[in-house]
Chain A
Amino acid sequence: MTITERAPSTVGGSGYDLSRFERRLIGVHLFVAIIALGIGSLIGPLQTFEYSNVNLYQYLEPVLQSYYQGLSLHGVLNALVWTTFFIVGFTTFTTIRGLRRPLRHPRINVAGFAVMLIGLLMAAVPLLLDQATVLYTFYAPLKASWAFYVGLTLVVVGSWISGLGFFLTLHAWRKDNPGVRSPFIALAGVINAAMWQIATIGIAVQMLTMLIPWSLGLIDATDPQLARTYFWFTGHPLVYFWLLPAYVSWYGMLPKQAGGKLFSDSLARLSFWMFLIVSVPVGFHHQFVDPGIPQVWKWLHAVLTYGVFFPSLLTAFTVIASLEYAARQRGGTGLIGWVRALPWGDPSVTTQLLAGILFMFGGISGLTNASYNLNLVVHNTAWVPGHFHLTVATAVTLSFIGITYWMVPHLCGTQLWGRRVALVQAWTWFVGMVIFSNAMHMLGLLGAPRRTPLGEALYVPDEWNGHLLRVSIGGAILLVSVILYLVVMYKTFRAPKVEAALVPEVPIAESLRHPQLTPVWLDRFKPWLIAAGLLVVLSYGPQLVDQIMDMSLNSPGPDFKVW
């Protein structure tokens, strides 16, 4: 193909150094994220030890007053705070570095961070005071302090504001570069921000029309069915909000780190656009056993959930092909033997490879969750946390950890401290999660309920005991891994500055095919946004109208604390 349009000016890995302000803005996002991961992950093993009847909560009073307060902190800090702050910080980085230009309106992004931080502090106070022990799904009629709801709302609003900043920056770049394909890592980050803005409409409506007025005493009761529908409108695409930044790294950065190239720029973009379309209209697969939703709508969402499998398989193919290309370049041979040629000595690469391996199994258990009939076997069992610890707690979190292994030293002007320690961290996470997650899946198949302090349960049959012990062993190994990670981050942050040539470079992968050969329709927002909007209206509209028309605010919540 000959050049028919202007050649892109931005391909490759160098060309724009972040300003001090930009480094600090991204750095404060990462700082909050890592602190949240540290605190949240240190609480997690307490739950796993409880499964073996080792109750450490009694020694932590009054800081932690119950299993459920610990579970709420673990879920909110890890699933909502660590992820959201990391993602906004990382997307700030990929926008600036991908486009090789400063933010168009940096004050917007500063405002976004400020609103998120204020929201986090507002939500943290009731959480720590045991006034928001409602788990990270905050199902009504469990009732939290109004500050918790307003705080979480502000975190989301802050991420919207930052998303606007990313979009305006990309828009300005496009005006300056007509006819040029947007750099993949920048475009993909903005697509994720757009998906997030559509997806969070559900939770925004839930907060503003039901939970906040209820917690303030302006209305007397809630409609739990409608509240759950609003929540899962946002709750499942939340998974893709977490995953897509990891995909940005797997598609756009990991191939470079492995010594290769992105196999297909077109497939990478196509999968992101497909995620934009199919991420949202799938929420009813979380409500398969909710009695108030007609079966036809559950069936429709089950089918659409299987639709998500298509871009997921595209991702698996493209990322593995990119890695295979890299491995072949490094002398790898054989049908499967090439895997050994990947740079397993690089902790940033190893974390992401291990994350990808476990994610394949997370995808399989996810397909089981999404199957209308099979869901009956695993619904509300320990299988479910077993599943999402393979996805958000490994595919996402371990990938984000891998990204920080080059990004934090890059931002700080240092080198990664303790490469071997970081490698041990990656493998202990992998081994700990294999043990933990497999045991949780097995417990789920045996009927063990989720969100239950099984150490106190009187109905535990003998056949559960071995698996409960394995959950605790996995948790202990994961605790070691988290501590190692925090040490590596602290030491890297405090390490002496080194000359620029020794600082880790930004790994931006080239594509096997020049990006300008990617079809122009894979670089346009309009058709994909229209398709996404239409599918949301068709898949949710009539059923949401029905539920709102039939809304019955008759669930005041218990007049006592259930925890």
Chain B
Amino acid sequence: MSTTEVQHDDGADGALPEEHFKPTGTIFVLVLFVATIILLWASVYVILLSRGVTL
């Protein structure tokens, strides 16, 4: 990651300090997570369907 992705505001001129950080890796991990959710949830759904209906 380039250092430009973390921007510092050190609180000059009376402003409270804050930093800005782009969590690109986090977004990637969460995309993988959501895809895993869909995959595993759907696999159980297929089992449900395979068992057929009860009347």
Contacts and interface: CB of A to CB of B under 8 A. Distances in A.
Nearest to A515: B16
B26 A368 contact: no
Interface residues of A, number: 40
15 contacts: A1-B18, A3-B16, A261-B19, A313-B30, A317-B30, A324-B23, A325-B21, A371-B41, A374-B44, A512-B18, A512-B20, A513-B19, A514-B11, A514-B18, A516-B16
Interface in B3-52: 5-6, 11, 13-21, 23-26, 28-30, 33, 36-37, 40-41, 44-45, 47-48, 51
A316 interface: yes
Interface of B: 1, 5-6, 11, 13-21, 23-26, 28-30, 33, 36-37, 40-41, 44-45, 47-48, 51
Given A328-B1, A513-B18, A364 B37 contact: yes
B24 to A, nearest CB: 7
Interface in A345-365: 360, 363-365
A333 B30 CA distance: 17
A517 interface: yes
Contacts of B51: 377
A371 B5 CA distance: 40
Contacts of B14: 2-3
A320 interface: yes
Given A364-B41, A377-B44, A445-B44, A320 B16 contact: no
B23 A263 contact: yes
A457 interface: no
Contacts of B1: 328, 332-333, 338
Nearest to A512: B19
B44 A517 contact: no
A334 B37 CA distance: 24
A501 interface: no
B28 A336 contact: yes
A325 B23 contact: yes
A374 B48 contact: yes
B37 A367 contact: yes
A263 B19 CA distance: 9
B21 A321 contact: yes
A335 B29 CA distance: 8
Contacts of B23: 263, 317, 320-321, 324-325
Given A261-B19, A321-B23, 11 more contacts: A2-B15, A316-B33, A320-B25, A325-B23, A328-B5, A332-B1, A445-B47, A512-B19, A512-B21, A514-B16, A517-B18
